[in-house]
Structure 1
Amino acid sequence: MKRLLFPVFALVLMVVAGCASAESEGGDSADSGSGSSDNKITIAWYPNESGGDLKAAREGIGQMIEEATGKEVEHKTTTDYIIAIEAIANGNADVAYMGAQGYIEANNKNENVQPIAVSSGESGTLDDAKYYSWLAVKNGNEEAYQQAGEYSIDNIAGKKFSFVSNSSTSGFKVPSAGIVSHFSEQEKYSDLAQEDLLKGGDFFSQVQFGGSHQGSAVNLLTGKAEIAAFCDVCVANYVENVDGEHNKAGATYEVTKDAAEPFSNLAGERFTLINSTPVLNAPFAMNTESLNEETQQQLVKAFTSDETANNENIFVPEDSQDNALFYKSAKERFIQVEDSWFDPIRELSK
């Protein structure tokens, strides 16, 4: 259950994802100070990956970079996607771990932002390098989203909805594109656009943004939203699959008794998936303007090495009880990709 997401909209079969305190582990916020120096590399993290429970995971990546480049690594944790995106785009960060949509936004702002690598699937290739974008409801309410025994999103209009951030791939771009694709076939919604989903009163009665995937899930479990979008991998450390097939509509998940913030007061709460769509894995990106060519090559070599693939501080064994960003169940590793690999996500905005 270390990796999770939402199978429905054929249009969006290929796409990618996306961390918690505004304080840097080195002291400053991600939108202050400069990024690269001769002796330092700054990494910006999304709210999803910024929590204290993932500190060891961040440090594992940092240590790998330090050993490869001989430079000190400073971690910049954030409370907003935009802070991380702006940091990598303007050179206040040299490296960032971000979803495909965030990467595209940063690349649009500065073409010098380029991918380093993405994590593979179990095969060790890009063929299954994906996670899942979920639409979920509180357990017990799922029957309202079934027709003839099959799950459907036909009844989501007019509901209270929670996205993650409009810069989130699996927490906005993928689900919003799928919703528009589904409903625009109806005459009533023939002119529906993704922008119409951003505020209440147009399509949804209310719209909230969790700020992180964890935050969006909490919006659902606390009753602030009736339906929420979030991804599997960002909540995998807090929930377990208790019914139904993992990553399939109808699967039910329960918050574990020892779940960390922001789920620490929600143990036992359950949600059920009404939709799950595969998404292209998220990249580590770098600012090629703030990093010299030698350092860029060192980063690519280090990320994609066998040594990193076998590093249990980065690819944590699947049966480990430690929280992690990446788990090892088979041949998982980092693989270098080009900018064009993210074109399927770009297409969702056209």
Structure 2
Amino acid sequence: MKKSLLKSALLVSMSALTIFAAGCSSKTEGATTGKSADDKITIAWLPNESGADLEAARTEIGKEIEAATGKKVEHKTTTDYIVAIEAIANGNADMAFLGAQGYIEAHNKNEKVLPLAVPSGESGTLDDAVYYSWLAVNKGDASKYKDGNKFSLGHISGKKFSFVSNSSTSGFKVPSTGIVDYFSKKGDYKDLKAEDLQEGGKDKFFSEVLYGGSHQGSAVNLLTGKADIAAFCDTCVNNYVELANGDENRPGAVYKVKKDAAEPFNTLPGKEFELISVTPVLNAPFVVNTKEINEEDQKKILELLTSDKIAGNEKVFVPADSKFSGLFSKKSGKESLLKVEDKFFDPIRELSK
């Protein structure tokens, strides 16, 4: 996807609301191309992928990497975005699965952190390698956020709002940019900045601001009434909810918590929410600290991740009709993992300019 087109989609779609759419290291210092003496690879996972329901999926990927490299894989699960980002940046983890913003922050801390691969789109290419950032409200409240028949951001000020983490791409970076872009054109908020959205209170843009810590946590903030509006993404809640009405990833779509949903949705079966905004976001990469993993192992891991073996592994790319809780669910086309370069994430960098 061309940079200019994606940036336009990221910014304009939020404004118009019409786009349908992981301790210090004890390893011996090695060369800048990666260390070769280690017999272990540690993978850091964001809170979204650290839950017990995804343990089998993490294990499957680890097992495949062990087979490819001959090295033991250990998983570093986290409850905070910053822990995962710091872990890969400071060498406490060798690999990580991060969102685009998380990768950029890790790379800024340590330029030896580089992306390996991202999941493609349904086409099997990078052209549609996106997922979706949602703004959602509880079922029955959607009419409060409309001008006529169209949803509008103009009604969200003064509300209780839940983000994921300020290091989240789709759970903070993209929605906050869209909100600022929209309101900066309005007289009362012409000087609004993303930083102004991080805290709520009297005389603040939002009356209260919460952070779910994960996309699942942000959604739960909404469904339990702690927030009026919540930002979270489609891929992180796919295992817990199902479409109840409307078209997937379109404003106006209603989703319902599955009756057998795992934690943290297990106490919320049947609860419904409606989308008022949908924005495409660049897919999340597997990243590697190139100072911690030598070139030979980097090559082996990349070849594995981008292989037909992984693309056809139903515990990695999970078929739409499967009940297995995986990282990449609802496979419907030619989805696979593709090699990616740092510049692929420039459109997300541009959101900070």
Which residue of 2 is the match for residue 43 of structure 1?
43
1:159-174 to structure 2, matched below 5 A, reads 159-174=159-174
Offset of residue 274 of structure 1: 0.5
1:309-348 to structure 2, matched below 5 A, reads 309-327=311-329, 328-348=331-351
How many residue pairs end up in the alignment? 328
Q: Percent identity?
A: 64
1:244 and 2:240 matched: no
1:1-350 to structure 2, matched below 5 A, reads 9-10=11-12, 30-31=22-23, 34=26, 38-201=38-201, 202-327=204-329, 328-350=331-353
- In structure 2, distance between residues paired with 1:52 and 1:31: 23
Offset of residue 12 of structure 1: 7.1
- In structure 2, distance between residues paired with 1:32 and 1:330: 42
Give TM-score, length-normalised by structure 1: 0.91
Offset of residue 313 of structure 1: 2.2
Question: Residue 34 of structure 1 contacts residue 93 of structure 1 at CA under 8 Å; is this kept in 2?
Answer: no
Question: Residue 101 of structure 2 contacts residue 169 of structure 2 at CA under 8 Å; is this kept in 1?
Answer: yes
- In structure 1, distance between residues paired with 2:256 and 2:181: 30
Q: Which amino acid in 1 is paired with 2:304?
A: A
- In structure 2, distance between residues paired with 1:288 and 1:90: 11
SS of corresponding position for 1:249: coil
Question: Residue 107 of structure 2 contacts residue 114 of structure 2 at CA under 8 Å; is this kept in 1?
Answer: yes
Question: Residue 42 of structure 2 contacts residue 74 of structure 2 at CA under 8 Å; is this kept in 1?
Answer: yes
Q: Which amino acid in 2 is paired with 1:182?
A: Y
Offset of residue 9 of structure 1: 3.6
Q: Which amino acid in 2 is paired with 1:262?
A: P
SS of corresponding position for 1:349: coil
Q: Which amino acid in 2 is paired with 1:215?
A: G
Question: Residue 250 of structure 1 contacts residue 272 of structure 1 at CA under 8 Å; is this kept in 2?
Answer: yes
- In structure 1, distance between residues paired with 2:337 and 2:200: 40
Q: Which amino acid in 1 is paired with 2:283?
A: N
* More divergent stretch after superposition (110-119 vs 194-203): 194-203
Question: Residue 116 of structure 2 contacts residue 340 of structure 2 at CA under 8 Å; is this kept in 1?
Answer: yes
* More divergent stretch after superposition (50-59 vs 314-323): 314-323
Deviations 1:202-236 (A, max 9, x none): 21010010000000000001111000000001001
Which residue of 2 is the match for residue 4 of structure 1?
none
Q: Which amino acid in 2 is paired with 1:349?
A: S
Question: Residue 122 of structure 1 contacts residue 331 of structure 1 at CA under 8 Å; is this kept in 2?
Answer: yes
Where has structure 1 moved over 3 Å in runs of 4 or more? 30-37
Give TM-score, length-normalised by structure 2: 0.90
Q: Over aligned residues, Cα RMSD in angstroms? A: 1.5
Q: Which amino acid in 1 is paired with 2:47?
A: P
